[in-house]
Amino acid sequence: MSKKHITATVNGDPAEFLTDPGTTLLDALRDELGLTGSKEGCGSGDCGACSVIVDGRLVCSCLMLAVEAEGRRIETIEGLAHGSELHPLQQKFLEHAALQCGFCTPGLLVASKALLDANPDPTEEEARYWLAGNLCRCTGYDKVIRAVLDAAAEMRQERRVA
Amino acid sequence: MGASLAQLDYMAPSSVDEAVKALMASSAAKVLAGGTDLIVQMRAGRAKPGAVLDLKRIAGAVGIRREADGGFVIGAATPGAAIGEHAALAQAWPGVVEATNLIGSTQIQGRASLGGNLCNASPAADSVPAMIAARAIAVIVGPKGRREAPVETIQAGPGRTTLGPGEFILEFKLPARPARSADAYLRLIPRTEMDIAVVGAGVSLTLNADGSVAEAYVSLGAVAPTCLLVAAAGQALAGTKLEPAALDALDAAARAACNPISDKRGTAEYRTKIAGVLARRSAQIAYDRAKARA
Amino acid sequence: MSDVLDRPDAKAGFATVGTRPVRPDGVDKVTGRAAFGADFAMPGQLTGRVKRSPHAHARIVSIDARKALALPGVKAVVTGADFPDLASEIVEGGEAASNMRDMAVNVIARDKVLYEGHAVAAVAAVSAAIAEEALDLIEVKYEPLAHVIDVEAAMASSAPVLHDHIFTDGVDPKPTLPSNIAKRHQFARGDVEAALAAAEVRVEGRYTTKAVHQGYIEPHACVASMSADGQAQIWSSSQGHFMVRAYSAKILGLDISDIRVTPAEIGGGFGGKTVIYLEPLALALSRQAGAPVKMVMSRDEVFRATGPTSGGVIHVRLGATRDGKITAADVELKYQAGAFPGSPVGAACMTALACYDIADFRIVGWDVVTNSPKVAAYRAPGAPATAFGVECAVDELAKKLGVDPIELRIKNGARDGVKAAYGPTFQNIGYIETLEAVKTHPHYALKLGPNQGRGIAAGFWFNVGGESTAACHIGEDGTATVVTGNPDIGGSRASMAIMAAEVLGIPVDNVRPVIADTASIGYSMLTGGSRTTFATGMAVVRAAEKVVGELKRRAAGVWSVPEDQVAWEGGRAVCLDPAKGDVKPLTLKGLAGMSARTGGPISAEVSLNAQGAGPGFGVHLCDVEIDPETGHVKVLRYLVAQDVGRAIHPSYVEGQMQGGAAQGVGWALNEEYVFDADGKMENAGFLDYRVPVASDLPMIDTVMIEVPNPRHPFGAKGVGEVPIVPPLAAVAIAVSEAVGVRMKDLPLSPPKIRAVLDAKAG
């Protein structure tokens, strides 16, 4: 079986790679494009550590075939910061100590960005339910939710000022 | 990735004809919509298709449109998130939309579809009881052309459908909604999110001008080999205003229809009791919603 | 919401200790740059996969790997025959002791498989697809045997016997027949039967728990490379790379100095990564293939083949006077060890009554092997399940006596001067203060509504010290590097930087902590046992103090004064000699800049075996609401109060408290290993192994009590493990209150609760 050639946009840049049709987008991102920020925690869509955004939709990259990425716009954790300028979510995660081992953090950040894109002013409950697909075993989620709500407030403030 | 996955063929036709031809040519092919069941099964070695046929580039397979008569047509591969974002659909069919949006996590919602949820044929599928109660119609395409079938006729048993070779569901039709109509869906899971339904109950009803139930449809999930349309449960509500006696009758009819298994998610006895509880609660929500539209 | 409460005489003015700087490794972790176990690759590496037993218990009749070896692209296949047989040898591993012989057989089976998932062979190939195809080509013939998993069934004389070399230790006379009962532990004082008989009030209860997994989100992963001259490199995510080196050396019969292990970032461990599974396989494959081998477990393998903790039975009898003095306690524990001896039941016995001052007691613990994965440490190993039983019994006693459950604990609580059931006399503990803090917390005064219940429970953990090494190097520009050998699983780099900065008197941003590989820093015991801030922190402080001593010596030389005329204040050498008049202080930066001409580079390395670890106590308060028709439980409020000694970095101390509580909530409500009739795990994935998700939990309030440990330079006590000890009971008691029936069997899934309510009504 010969590999398929895929062209997509990843974090705003043109990307291309070869892949077997059975390879997941997660494996292609990690192994072909060297973007190891997205993690495999379960391989079955139950932990969210592989979260990426495809054409504006939050998805588990372990449950998408790499060949489906053809022509699509993909955002990963590596695209969240602008150069050395961290995204407010990243900054708040650090300030609130919303990570301990850090393994679930990329997925949580991507999912949180998708949340705030869809709903810039979530309640605590809305944030918790949106992020229910991102398992964290270290933090008990308290500081994560505080960081997300704080980042949301700061981003709303920035938009008012801008 | 399993050895079988290395040999997987991938097709992404852009028309129904192309898709049907490809399915007929490759008996080992499986249809791919969101992949949130199929890819899990392939990676676990429970499904070993030689090829996957991606529906998402076929015109009509993704998208939601309103018909002139007020009904809706939903592409079978439309992701749940898009269904949740459709204001008019959520207004007319809150039960269908909330059921669909209960499938998995936000990430799963970015991909999971009504077609996949139905044709994966898990008895615990969240969208199916709501779709059955809503009297949704599956529009099926295949080698013999187009046909329509009520959604409750599609599941044949766990993991099996009544679709023939080369057939797949292209879209779903939801009928025009009479005034004073609403639906609701509830499920019981051990956590607050992320679990497969231990029991699911969908209720859709229409009220008379005096607030009594004109007609009601009740569907249960995860209590039998397929999702059930429980005619007796709907009849128990007809003509009533959901008085305690009516709800008791509904509860009893729901429980009587159950034929569940005991597994790691719940015992048969528990599922049966909860079917009655959720049927009541779901009916009450649908009723209150319908009254609010009166 | 978090409060830090101090004992008035313990507060000291620190510049950096107790502040909340951003962790030094934080940016890498929020940008996806940090490299975890599976993120590393070596040129030319092969992919390794493991073939695992489908049987819970079976004899291996034969293994034929010829077809696998012949498959193009397969470079190596190993089985148990490729590994030396080790003699029985107990090695300490942080908190749990391991028998190397058993660990070696757990890594790859020899004549028997002892649980579904037990490794029987491994392959390395040029691609994952070929490696998996090769697994299918390895032909293993098994003779299935009867299996046993339930702990009491495994203790029965009719049970299938896993090992015919196990004759129960700790019973007299020693049995003549082998059994699954590896060991009987006992701690006792006085005459518990007489004291129980004389007691005015008694309670008795039998409690059960199921096996649960640590649930770290990162599966085990490593890359190993063995060159032709027998030198090995390993990249691996673990709680201790020196442990990885030591165990790999033993299992393969290599010299320790021939293995260099570089620690990856670790995506959670909680004790489950204090042992090894893949590294010896990867090394053996690499040796055979002549190429590096990368091995990553799937989630399914993590559940089926890596240690959960024990499920067990806890039987408690308490006796008390009518005015609430607990006079007698009898506790019997039966714990699953999994396929090899070594459940944490011994530690469980030691913690069982640690929160209490009771004159007459007996604690007996049984270590029982079962056809399930060998248990590994899980955060305060052994303590949570035992505390579940004991704390529920204490709660029952409080209800029977009509006294407030906190008051009962205060009356009987461990305090300074009390001789603990497990031996030492407590000093500088803050248990009573922690109870008082919960009693006066606004949460405790909140009224409950219908179908709601409240639970209070306490917990204890020893915390350990042990061997650590740290180095402190001063750069030419006056910034400092602190090097340790402990993987950072929860933010410990930040604490190391804070402690070094405090000693050196420089801003914490001028201190860079680094975790070095096994060849680049002296030996350190693993990250576990809540020891890192205490023991490695102590080594960091001593190394920084040595550096300060050297800096003072250099300044003394510059000023030509005796060394005792130099003080170190606020990051500067200050001249105390009055004869010298007004001498401008020398900053660390200044001294660093002139180091070459004052004697050379300024650095120090300290190795120590830290003694005097302070035990920790926690008290949790949990409110739940149940849906009486469905049995569904909602956690409304949760409070964690804990004696933390000194919170070096308060945010990460709070994080430990919240994380441990969350794991305990999952353990109480939904987590369990489900086995089918053939002994195969039915829920080996995160779909049906149900850890708490974000919407399952409320905010978790924390109260940190600081009763400093005088044996640590800044008073630190271990904090990571205590918080998982109370929640099982706190949640179970809350549910029991809401339901009106005492719940004694975990997990408290909705069907169980509904059944209890139906039985109560019917």
pLDDT digits (tens, 9 = 90+) for B147-170: 999 999 999 999 999 999 999 999
| Chain A residues 93-112 with CB within 8 Å of chain C | 93-97, 99-106, 109
CATH of span B187-292: 3.30.390.50
pLDDT grade for C95, boundaries at 50, 70 and 90: low
Residue ranges, CATH 3.30.390.50, chain B: 187-292
Mean pLDDT for chain C overall = 96
Q: Is the preceding omega at residue C424 within 30 degrees of 0, hence cis?
A: no
Asked if pLDDT for residue A160 goes beyond 90, the answer is no
Residues of B with CB under 8 A from a CB of A: 1-2, 4-10, 12, 32, 34-36, 39-40, 42-44, 52, 54, 56, 79, 81, 104-108, 110-111, 192-194
Chain A residues in contact with B193 (beta carbon < 8 A)? 129, 132-133
Least Cα separation, residue C198 to chain A (angstroms): 45
Q: Rounded to whole angstroms, how far apart are CA atoms B194 and B190?
A: 9
Residue of C472, C456, C465, C567 lying closest to C511 (CA atoms): C472
Residue of C584, C577, C591, C500 lying closest to C537 (CA atoms): C500
Asked if pLDDT for residue C1 goes beyond 60, the answer is no
Q: C626: helix, coil or strand?
A: strand
Which residues, other chains included, contact C91 with Cβ-Cβ below 8 Å and sequence gap of 6+? C97, C98, C99, C100, C246, C247, C250
pLDDT digits (tens, 9 = 90+) for B7-45: 899 999 999 999 999 999 998 899 999 999 999 999 999
Average pLDDT, stretch A147-159?
A: 96
Question: What is residue B4's predicted lDDT score, i.e. its pLDDT?
Answer: 53
Residue ranges, CATH 3.30.365.10, chain C: 10-34+465-610, 382-463+614-761
Q: CB count, 10 Å around CB of C96?
A: 22
State the count of interchain CB pairs (< 8 A) between A and B.
105
Q: Do B42 and A45 touch (CB under 8 A)?
A: no
State the count of interchain CB pairs (< 8 A) between B and C.
64
Q: Do C694 and A109 touch (CB under 8 A)?
A: no
Asked if pLDDT for residue C137 goes beyond 60, the answer is yes
Question: What is residue B27's predicted lDDT score, i.e. its pLDDT?
Answer: 84
Average pLDDT, stretch C497-511?
A: 97
Chain A residues in contact with C129 (beta carbon < 8 A)? 20
Torsion on CA atoms A98, A103, A106, A112, rounded to nearest 10: -50
Residue ranges, CATH 3.30.43.10, chain B: 3-57
pLDDT digits (tens, 9 = 90+) for C232-268: 999 999 999 999 999 999 999 999 999 999 999 999 9
pTM of the model: 0.97
Q: Rounded to whole angstroms, how far apart are CA atoms C671 and C667?
A: 5
Q: Rounded to whole angstroms, how far apart are CA atoms C156 and C640?
A: 40
pLDDT digits (tens, 9 = 90+) for B71-127: 999 999 999 999 999 999 999 999 999 999 999 999 999 999 999 999 999 999 999
- Best B36, B43, B105, B192 member to test C by mutation, with max C CBs in 10 Å, is B192
Instruction: Evaluate whether the domain defined by A88-161 bears CATH number 1.10.150.120.
Output: yes
Give the neighbours of chain A: at least 3 Cβ pairs within 8 Å: B, C
Q: Which of these ranges, C66-75, C86-95, C201-210, C456-465, has the smallest mean pLDDT?
A: C86-95
pLDDT grade for C97, boundaries at 50, 70 and 90: confident
> C382-463+614-761 is classed in which CATH architecture?
2-Layer Sandwich (3.30)
- Give yes or no for a contact between B242 and B279, defined as CB atoms under 8 angstroms apart: no
CATH of span A4-79: 3.10.20.30
CATH fold of C10-34+465-610 reads: Aldehyde Oxidoreductase; domain 4 (3.30.365)
Asked if pLDDT for residue B220 goes beyond 60, the answer is yes
Q: Look at the alpha carbons of C598, C603, C608, C613 in this order and tell me if their dihedral is positive or negative.
A: positive
Candidates 3.90.1330.10, 1.20.210.10, 3.50.50.60, 3.30.465.10; correct CATH number of B64-174?
3.30.465.10
Which H or E element spans position B290? Answer: helix B268-292
Asked if pLDDT for residue A145 goes beyond 80, the answer is yes
Q: Do C267 and A38 touch (CB under 8 A)?
A: no
Q: Do B5 and A22 touch (CB under 8 A)?
A: yes
Average pLDDT, stretch C716-741?
A: 97
Q: Do A57 and B7 touch (CB under 8 A)?
A: no
**DSSP code for B113:** B
Give the neighbours of chain B: at least 3 Cβ pairs within 8 Å: A, C
Residue ranges, CATH 3.10.20.30, chain A: 4-79
User: What is the 3-state secondary structure of A74-143?
Assistant: EECHHHCCECCECCHHHHHHHHCCCCCCCCCHHHHHHHHHHHHHHCCCCCHHHHHHHHHHCCCCCCCCHH
Residue ranges, CATH 1.10.150.120, chain A: 88-161
Q: Do B5 and A20 touch (CB under 8 A)?
A: yes
A33 has a chain C CB within 8 A of its CB = no
CATH class of B3-57: alpha beta
Asked if pLDDT for residue C5 goes beyond 60, the answer is no
B197 has a chain C CB within 8 A of its CB = no
Q: Which of these ranges, A37-41, B26-30, C144-148, has the smallest mean pLDDT?
A: B26-30
- Please, what is the Cα angle at C184 between C178 and C185, to 5 degrees? 160
State the count of interchain CB pairs (< 8 A) between A and C.
173
